[in-house]
C-alpha cells in the first residue's frame, strides 16, 4: 500500500440506513432477504432470454422455436416502434399502432414470467410516453419504496458503490496533508456517498494527530427541493458529529438557465477543493448535459485540485455506431444496457423475485423512461470524452484504488469485473457489457492560470 494512501472500508458501502433519526450513525445488518423471497413467486431463469436477444441482434437470426416465438415477436415490435419514431420523417401513427399491439401482447410486469417480457414492458411504456410528448417526471421527495429499492440495489449490485468507492478513494489520495477539505458536490441527493469518506478521514486523521475539517457544498438543481438538500445536510452534520469530525454544510442552486455559477460557492484560502459529479442513475436521471458541463467548467474558477466524475459508460465503438444510427441505435444501446442490469440481478439473486421487482419498478423503469427521453431529444452524453477534448488533465488513480475496486466486485456475482482504461479511468462491466465508469481529472493548465490571474486582479 502506498504510504500516503488512506484506505476506505468497503463494508461501509452496504446496507446504508435510511431512517431519518439514526441516519448514518451505524450500518444496518444485511438485508433480510426472507421478506422478499415471496413463496410461490420464484420463477427460475429459463435460459432462453439471452438466446432470443442474441438472435434479434444477429444479421441472420435463426428461426425461433415455438416456446420463444412470442418474445421474439415482442422484441421485433419494439424495434419497429423505435424505428417509426426515428429520423426526420417520423411515422407517429405507425408507432402508435405498434405500441397498441404491444400493450395487447404484454402482461403487467408483476405477472410477466420472464425477464425479457418485463424489460419489454418498461421500454414499451417509455416509448408510449415519448409518443404522448411527455418527459419523465420525478418527485421532489423520494418515496419510502424508492429508498428501500436503493438499499436493495446496493446489497445486490456494485453499480452504485463502485462509483462512490472509486471517487472517494481518489479524493482521499488527493487531499493527503491538507487540514481543510472542501467538496463541491453536484446534486447531492441523499448524500449516500459521504458517510464512508467521513469515517475514513476520522480513522486515519489524514496523517496527523487531529482529524481534518470537511466542508461540503451541495449544488442543487431545480428538481431537488431546498428542504431536501437541507435535510441531507442535517443528517451528514449529525453523523460527522457522532464520529467527532469537524464538519460544515452549505448549498447553492444552479442559475435560472440551469448553469453553475462559481461565485455562488464560498472558498477559503489553503483548503483542498474537490468537484464531485456522480452522473449515473439512479441518482440523477434528470440532469442535462448543459448543467453538468457548466459545473465541471467552473472547476478552475473555484480553484479545484481534483474533479471526480462517475457516469454511465458507452460501449466503445458500438456506442459510436449507435449514435450514428440515431434514436434506433440509442434505443438498442439502452436496451442492451438494461438487459445486462436485469440479467445480473436475476443471476445473482434467482430466488429473490420480489426484491428484484422492487428495484425494477422503483429504479430501473423510471431510468429507462429518462434514458429514452434524452435519446429522443438527442441530448449529448459522454462527459469524460468532452473533458479530455476540453484539455482537462488525467489524474492517475492509485494502485490501491484499483485493487480496492477489484476487491469490491468480488463480493458480488462472478459476472462483474473491473477494467482499467487510461491511467485515470476504471470501468465496471457485467460480462461483455460496460456499465459505469469513474474518472479523475485536473483543470486544464491554461484555465488554471487564467483563474489565478483573475483572482489577483
Task: State pLDDT tens for residues 298-339.
Answer: 999 999 999 999 998 866 544 444 454 688 888 988 888 899
- Examine the pLDDT at 59 and tell me if it is beyond 60: no
Assess if residue 216 is contained within a domain: yes
- Examine the pLDDT at 376 and tell me if it is beyond 90: no
346 and 246 part of one domain: no
302 and 274 part of one domain: yes
> What is the CATH number for 160?
3.40.50.150
Q: Which of 376, 393, 413 is the last residue of a domain?
A: 376
| Cα(426)–Cα(406) distance, integer angstroms | 10
46 and 174 part of one domain: no
Confidence of residue 208 (pLDDT cuts 50, 70, 90): low
The pLDDT assigned to 89 comes to: 79
386 and 448 part of one domain: yes
91 and 66 part of one domain: yes
DSSP string covering 359-417: HIIIIIHHHHHHHHHHHHTT----HHHHHHHTTPEE-PPPHHHHHHHHHHHTTS-TTEE
242 and 216 part of one domain: yes
341 and 439 part of one domain: no
Assess if residue 139 is contained within a domain: no
Which CA distances in Å does 8 have to 34, 151, 367, 436? 30, 20, 29, 20
244 and 389 part of one domain: yes
Which range is least confidently modeled, 157-171, 285-299, 307-321?
A: 307-321
As a dihedral over the C-alpha atoms of residue 236, residue 240, residue 242, residue 245, rounded to 10 degrees, the angle is: -170
Q: State the DSSP code for 90.
A: -
Assess if residue 116 is contained within a domain: yes
The pLDDT assigned to 57 comes to: 43
The pLDDT assigned to 271 comes to: 96
Number of domains in the chain: 2
220 and 289 part of one domain: yes
Assess if residue 240 is contained within a domain: yes
* Nearest Cα to Cα of residue 368 among 291, 281, 277, 429: 281
Assess if residue 264 is contained within a domain: yes
Domain that includes residue 447, residue range:
12-30+144-314+382-456
Confidence of residue 69 (pLDDT cuts 50, 70, 90): confident
Q: Which of 350, 376, 402 is the last residue of a domain?
A: 376
Assess if residue 288 is contained within a domain: yes
| Cα(291)–Cα(393) distance, integer angstroms | 21
192 and 252 part of one domain: yes
Average pLDDT score over residue span 97-105: 90
Question: Cell 411504456 appears where?
Answer: 125
Would you state the cell numbers that stand for residue 290, as one nine-digit string? 448543459
pTM above 0.85, yes or no: no
388 and 372 part of one domain: no
216 and 300 part of one domain: yes
Share of residues in the chain with pLDDT > 70 (%): 74
Amino acid at each position: 500500500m502506498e504510504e500516503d494512501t488512506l484506505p476506505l472500508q468497503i463494508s461501509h458501502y452496504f446496507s446504508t440506513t435510511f431512517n431519518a433519526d439514526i441516519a448514518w450513525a451505524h450500518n444496518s445488518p444485511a438485508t433480510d432477504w426472507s421478506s422478499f423471497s415471496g413463496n410461490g413467486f420464484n420463477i427460475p431463469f429459463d435460459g432462453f432470454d439471452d438466446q432470443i436477444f442474441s438472435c434479434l441482434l444477429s444479421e441472420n437470426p435463426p428461426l425461433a422455436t415455438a416456446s420463444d416465438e412470442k418474445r421474439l415477436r415482442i422484441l421485433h415490435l419494439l424495434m419497429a416502434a423505435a424505428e417509426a419514431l426515428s429520423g426526420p420523417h417520423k411515422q407517429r401513427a405507425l408507432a402508435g399502432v405498434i405500441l397498441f399491439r404491444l400493450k395487447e401482447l404484454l402482461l403487467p410486469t408483476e405477472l410477466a414470467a420472464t425477464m425479457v417480457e418485463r424489460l419489454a414492458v418498461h421500454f414499451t411504456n417509455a416509448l408510449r410516453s415519448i409518443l404522448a410528448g411527455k418527459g419523465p417526471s420525478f418527485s421532489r421527495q423520494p418515496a419510502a419504496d424508492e429508498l428501500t429499492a436503493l438499499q436493495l440495489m446496493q446489497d445486490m449490485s456494485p453499480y452504485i458503490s463502485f462509483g462512490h468507492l472509486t471517487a472517494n478513494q481518489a479524493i482521499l489520495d488527493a487531499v493527503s496533508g491538507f487540514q481543510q477539505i472542501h467538496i463541491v458536490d453536484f446534486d447531492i441527493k441523499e448524500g449516500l456517498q459521504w458517510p464512508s469518506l467521513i469515517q475514513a478521514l476520522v480513522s486515519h486523521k489524514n496523517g496527523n494527530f487531529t482529524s481534518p475539517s470537511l466542508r461540503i457544498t451541495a449544488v442543487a438543481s431545480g428538481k431537488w427541493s431546498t428542504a431536501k438538500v437541507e435535510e441531507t445536510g442535517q443528517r451528514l452534520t449529525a453523523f460527522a458529529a457522532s464520529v467527532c469530525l469537524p464538519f460544515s454544510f452549505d448549498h447553492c442552486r444552479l442559475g435560472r438557465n440551469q448553469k453553475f455559477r462559481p461565485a455562488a460557492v464560498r472558498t477559503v484560502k489553503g483548503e483542498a477543493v474537490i468537484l464531485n459529479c456522480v452522473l449515473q442513475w439512479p441518482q440523477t436521471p434528470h440532469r442535462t448535459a448543459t448543467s453538468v458541463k457548466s459545473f465541471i467548467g467552473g472547476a478552475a474558477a473555484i480553484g479545484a485540485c481534483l474533479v471526480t466524475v462517475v457516469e454511465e459508460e458507452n460501449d466503445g465503438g458500438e456506442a459510436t455506431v449507435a449514435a450514428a444510427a440515431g434514436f434506433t441505435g440509442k434505443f438498442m444501446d439502452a436496451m442492451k444496457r438494461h438487459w445486462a442490469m436485469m440479467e445480473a440481478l436475476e443471476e445473482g439473486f434467482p430466488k429473490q423475485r420480489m426484491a428484484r421487482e422492487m428495484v425494477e419498478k422503483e429504479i430501473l423503469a423510471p431510468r429507462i423512461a429518462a434514458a429514452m427521453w434524452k435519446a429522443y431529444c438527442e441530448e449529448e452524453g459522454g462527459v469524460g470524452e468532452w473533458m479530455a477534448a476540453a484539455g482537462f488533465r488525467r489524474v492517475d488513480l492509485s494502485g490501491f484504488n484499483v485493487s480496492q475496486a477489484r476487491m469490491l466486485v468480488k463480493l458480488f456475482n462472478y459476472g462483474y469485473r473491473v477494467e482499467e482504461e487510461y491511467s485515470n479511468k476504471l470501468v465496471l462491466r457485467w460480462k461483455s457489457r460496460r456499465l459505469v465508469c469513474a474518472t479523475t481529472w485536473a483543470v486544464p493548465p491554461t484555465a488554471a492560470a487564467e483563474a489565478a490571474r483573475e483572482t489577483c486582479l
